[in-house]
Amino acid sequence: MSTLGDIVVLIKPALNPEMIRSLPDGGVDFDNIPLKLSDIDRNAIEEANRLKELLKGKIYSITISTWGPIAKRDKDIKMAIQEGLAKGVDEAILLEDDSITPGDQITTASAIVSILNKFNIKPDIILTGEATIDGFSGQVAGRVAAKLNLPYISFARKIDLNGNKVIAERDLEDYVEVVETQLPAVISVTREINSPKPPTLIQIRMASKKPQHVVKLSDLTNVAMPKKKLAEAKVLSVKRKQTMIEGKSLEEVADKLIEILEQEGVLKH
Amino acid sequence: MVDVLVVVQKEADASELLTIAKKVGEPVALTYGNSEIEKLTKYFNKVYRIKEDDPNSIFFAIKTLYEKLNPKLVVGMSSKNLKDAYSRLAGIYDLPLATDIFDFNVSGSKVTYKRSFLSGRAIETEEVTMPLLLLVSPRKTQKSEGNSNGSIEELSIGNSSNVVIKERKEKVKGGVNLEAAEFIISVGRGFKNKDDLKLAFDLAELAGAQIGCSRPIAADLKWLTEDHWVGLSGKKVAPKVYLMFGISGAPQHLAGITDAKTVIAVNNDKTAPIFKNADYGIVADLYQFIPILTKKLKERH
């Protein structure tokens, strides 16, 4: 049962873009790209820790696995959740089910709400990263806020609490907006909000003792099935020449560089 | 009968969004805040307006019109406030939403579009059935001419926002416009001090280049304003030449320069990953190399 002052962080094991693999036809080789905890969700976990000091509740993490097959992905998924537990999450809940992979944001948001109901978690704050490093669409937090009819603060780069009020700075294209709302609220954070450090060995060891729940789709109610179909994914091949400019001296190298800049037509004189 | 709701502020965006809307059917527009409303009436037969421009108010306005008009498509240009507003409407009705899309096509009630994926390293094509919500990547769609003479209707959404705006602080700008630049000289962590950036600025002034930078220089060290920041979370650029000094080549940075024609990297570490993602590579200490290059360019005049 949940107590007042609880925080929920939504964390995603995302395809690791740095480990992208290509099929012979140029398609994305999904099966051979590992998952890792999405970078900006690390900032959300870090912020949850800071806010926990003030709210005195528990930190829950909720994860909806979106990339299958689960049997193959299970280790990466559990590693991502373990990282959250090592970094201060108190209790983790995971939905793993091949029938909702590859998932979409409709399914993810409705499953998050369903899990909150099933575990009777009534958080003061729901935190997540502004977007995930694979899809980068940044819409799950807003969907969850709307479904729960809670205030939503997106792109927060600073969060302050004052009693039952939250004051945050939203980082927009041309300005920073200071906003205020009442708890409970849903907040998405940017990378700039803090600087998360990797967990220590002791933290990792402690993490395995913390409660973890794995649920299946059949354990939940009102989860919407995916509506988007990933028809095709191609590796973007920007082929660069990879030519090294060398010379006997830096002067000679500079001359060669100037020649290239002239050929490209960017030197005006 | 309305098929498409277009959420738009500027004429440049309206001309591209109209191209997309016409593939689906008859559009109306919603505009907000400080918009080019008179110009928008050239593109749409009806333009609804709210005076507010925060995501809560935009959300309430879109929701009101969605429920009233029942469009197949709600479309706008990608921006942070529209991502906020659209995601909430999508949440209420479990509607599909895709952001930063391009190459939009319709066949019956089926829609396909492309978007950048895996931090700019892949392009995905998604297929979905209408109704849906889309936010479009700017300057990737053909423009349409507007020949309407639309009417304006004020929309009242009431004061129902539960998020109160206390203050807006304009971001300090470095006066660059990287999206339009033909020649960009970009700086990274290879510079040891803020003052040393003068080396790059002097070179850029001489060469007629604009200054870009990697994430740490703008976001962490704050040596430069954010309008200099190139990458996934910064600017996407498409210059003829992108010349980098002291940038190692993180994928998030590379995601911002996929449209650059020629990429040149100067780095003192010959194993730096940037050399695999550059057309030309130079292994050199920037502190030695930039003064020599600057001197040579001066002599050229």
Q: What percent of chain A has pLDDT over 90?
A: 93
Q: Is the pLDDT of residue A2 over 60?
A: no
Contact A250 B288 (CB under 8 A): yes
Please tell me if residue B180 touches chain A, with a CB cutoff of 8 Å: no
What ipTM describes this predicted complex? Answer: 0.92
Task: Identify the DSSP state of A224.
Answer: P
CA–CA dist A41, B188 (Å, integer): 25
Q: What does the pLDDT look like over B152-209, one tens digit per residue?
A: 999 988 767 789 999 999 988 777 889 889 999 999 999 999 999 999 999 999 999 9
Mean pLDDT within A67-76? 95
Contact B118 A145 (CB under 8 A): no
Q: Which of residues 140-159 of A touch B (CB under 8 A)?
A: 140-147, 151-155
Cβ atoms of A209 and A174 within 8 Å: the answer is: no
CA–CA dist A200, B78 (Å, integer): 39
Query: What's A109's domain CATH number?
Result: 3.40.50.620
Do B4-154 and B178-300 fold alike per CATH?
yes
Please tell me if residue B93 touches chain A, with a CB cutoff of 8 Å: no
* Third-level CATH fold of B178-300: Rossmann fold (3.40.50)
Q: Which of A106, A173, A242 sits opposite B278 (nearest CB)?
A: A242
Please tell me if residue A138 touches chain B, with a CB cutoff of 8 Å: yes
Number of Cβ within 10 Å of residue A265's Cβ equals 11
**Which residue in chain A is spatially nearest to B173 when comparing CA positions?**
A174
Compute CA distances B164 → A95, A99, A145, A187, B167, whole Å.
35, 41, 16, 14, 9
Q: Which of B90, B280, B297 sits opposite A241 (nearest CB)?
A: B280
Classify residue A247: in a domain, yes or no. no
Classify residue A102: in a domain, yes or no. yes
Low-confidence ranges of chain B (pLDDT < 50): none
Contact B171 A269 (CB under 8 A): no
Q: Is B116 exposed, middle or buried (0-12, 13-18, 19+ CB in 10 A)?
A: buried
Q: Is the pLDDT of residue A235 over 50?
A: yes
Domain boundaries, position A206 = 7-219
Average pLDDT, chain A: 95
Q: What are phi and psi of B215, to 5 degrees?
A: -55, -50
Q: Which of A143, A182, A234 sits opposite B87 (nearest CB)?
A: A143
Contact A245 B281 (CB under 8 A): yes
Q: Which of B169, B219, B251 sits opposite A17 (nearest CB)?
A: B251
Contact A135 B117 (CB under 8 A): yes
User: Hey, CA dihedral for A133, B130, B124, A93, is it positive or negative?
Assistant: positive
Residues of chain A in contact with residue B79, where contact means CB-CB under 8 angstroms, are: 173
| Local confidence band at A237 (pLDDT 50, 70, 90 cut-offs) | confident
Q: Is A47 exposed, middle or buried (0-12, 13-18, 19+ CB in 10 A)?
A: buried
Q: Mention every residue, 6+ apart, whose C-beta is less than 8 A from residue A262.
A: none
Which of B78, B126, B87, B76 is CA-nearest to residue B105? Answer: B126
The residue ranges of every structural domain in chain B are 4-154, 178-300
Which of B208, B217, B215 is CA-nearest to residue B240? Answer: B208
Looking at the structure, give the CATH architecture of the domain made up of residues B4-154: 3-Layer(aba) Sandwich (3.40)
Range in A9-23, A171-185, B151-165, B203-217 the model is least confident about? B151-165
Cβ atoms of B31 and B22 within 8 Å: the answer is: no
pLDDT of residue A238: 80
Domains contained in chain A, number: 1
Q: What does the pLDDT look like over B225-237, one tens digit per residue?
A: 999 999 988 898 9
CA–CA dist A195, A27 (Å, integer): 35
Tell me whether the omega of the peptide bond preceding residue A69 falls within 30 degrees of 0, making it cis.
Answer: yes
Which of B290, B277, B270 is CA-nearest to residue B251? Answer: B277
pLDDT of residue B120: 84
Q: What does the pLDDT look like over B78-93, one tens digit per residue?
A: 999 999 999 999 999 9
Joined together, the tokens standing for residue B138 give 């700017």
**Which residue in chain A is spatially nearest to B183 when comparing CA positions?**
A266
Classify residue A191: in a domain, yes or no. yes
Q: What angle do CA A66, A71, A76 make, to 5 degrees?
A: 65
Q: What percent of chain B has pLDDT over 90?
A: 87
Please tell me if residue B19 touches chain A, with a CB cutoff of 8 Å: no
Q: Is the pLDDT of residue A162 over 70?
A: yes
pLDDT of residue B159: 65
Average pLDDT, chain B: 94
